[in-house]
Amino acid sequence: MIELLNLAFMRRALVAAALAGLTAPAIGTYIVQRRLSLLGDGLGHVAIAGVGLALATGSAPLPWAVGACVGGAALIELLRQRGRASGDIGLAILFYGGLAAGVLLASLAGQGAGGLQSYLFGSLVTVSPGDLKLVVALAAVVLVVALGWSAPLFAVCADEDYAKTLGLPVKLYNFVIVVLAAVTVATAMRTVGLLLVSALMVVPVAAAQNLCRGFFASLAGAMGLGLVVSLGGVVTSYYADLAPGATIVLLAIAVFVLSWPVSAWTHRRRHRRLDDPDPRPIPHHWAAESHQDHVHGPGCGHPAVEHGDHLDYLHFGHRHVPHGDHHDEH
């Protein structure tokens, strides 16, 4: 373990992985809440275009990936806010256009699709000191915004219409969420890889939702799980000589699978408790509203429904039955 920390590239890889493990589930909790679980995957495709551009121009890939990804995210959100039916097709074109453009540019640079591999699936040795500075700065921004604005961001993700009626700047918050997701995807490129980062945004969140109750508990739980699987994945991949991105994602899925029985158990326990009757039980004999000279009976004009040994009369969606000088609700 100590020897691992003596290696400069491993120290950088560990820091980058830890930050990816914190930021991806943090922003992923909002993404999952908004039911956009596959957004991260699409953004990863768009970032590939940025990497291809960097390879073709011979510059550092990370800033280009961040730029392409944020641009793509802004475009996606615009499509979503403006268009309706065309949004779906627009997304698909954007995503696959990004992937194709990335591969094309990489091959123009003489690297072919193989040159992209370390960006697609992550690689321990590729985190340069310059990359790390950018990753730390961007991750700090993502964490400050995602946690500092957690209350209004949650409100927008949970119930957009209601958030609008509160007067919250809903469009702005929606933009913030997708842009943060884009930044997260691009910064996780070196460790988890662009094709696998989406899993780190979704799987720890799903596991945390099994283990914790409520949005904010899941947010904290997902970040904790993300940190553990990222660091564990990097260390494992170093010793076992495995691809780090794949190791991290499979570890996350293992945690998710283990969280299933826990969730089933707590759900059963809670359900038993909730089966208790409501504090205000319905009385057996519940008087209906007065009818002003109208007595329900055959030919009263209200539809009759058989109910055990008698007939109920449908009155405004209620089943009424004459009883002495009044009517009962049935």
* Interface residue list for another protein (CB under 8 A): 33-35, 148-149, 151-152, 154-155, 157-169, 172, 209, 213-216, 218, 270-271, 274, 278-284, 286, 289, 292, 302-303, 307-308, 314-319, 329-330
Nearer to another protein, 239 or 286 (CB): 286
Least gap, CB of 72 to another protein (angstroms): 24
- DSSP letter assigned to residue 294: -
Query: How many C-alpha atoms does 81 have within 13 Å on its Cβ side?
Result: 14
CA 203 to chain centre: 9
Nearer to another protein, 110 or 167 (CB): 167
Say how far apart CA 69 and CA 71 lie, in whole Å.
Answer: 5
Bridging pattern class, strands 326-329 and 310-315: unpaired
Q: Which of 129, 240, 139 is nearest to 183 (CA)?
A: 139
Least gap, CB of 44 to another protein (angstroms): 23
Nearer to another protein, 96 or 162 (CB): 162
Least gap, CB of 76 to another protein (angstroms): 19
Nearer to another protein, 299 or 317 (CB): 317
> Quick one: which H or E segment has residue 102?
helix 86-108
Least gap, CB of 169 to another protein (angstroms): 6
Nearer to another protein, 107 or 329 (CB): 329
- Contact between 30 and 146 under an 8 Å Cβ cutoff? The reply is yes
Handedness of CA 189, 191, 196, 202 (dihedral sign): negative
For residue 175, the tally of other CB atoms under 10 A from its CB is 16
307-321 per-residue burial string, b: 16 or more CB within 10 A, e: under 16: eeeebbbebeeebbb
- Contact between 46 and 65 under an 8 Å Cβ cutoff? The reply is no
Angle (CA) 237 239 244, round 5°: 10
Nearer to another protein, 45 or 319 (CB): 319
Least gap, CB of 87 to another protein (angstroms): 17
Least gap, CB of 151 to another protein (angstroms): 6
- Contact between 200 and 33 under an 8 Å Cβ cutoff? The reply is no
Least gap, CB of 315 to another protein (angstroms): 8
Nearer to another protein, 133 or 307 (CB): 307
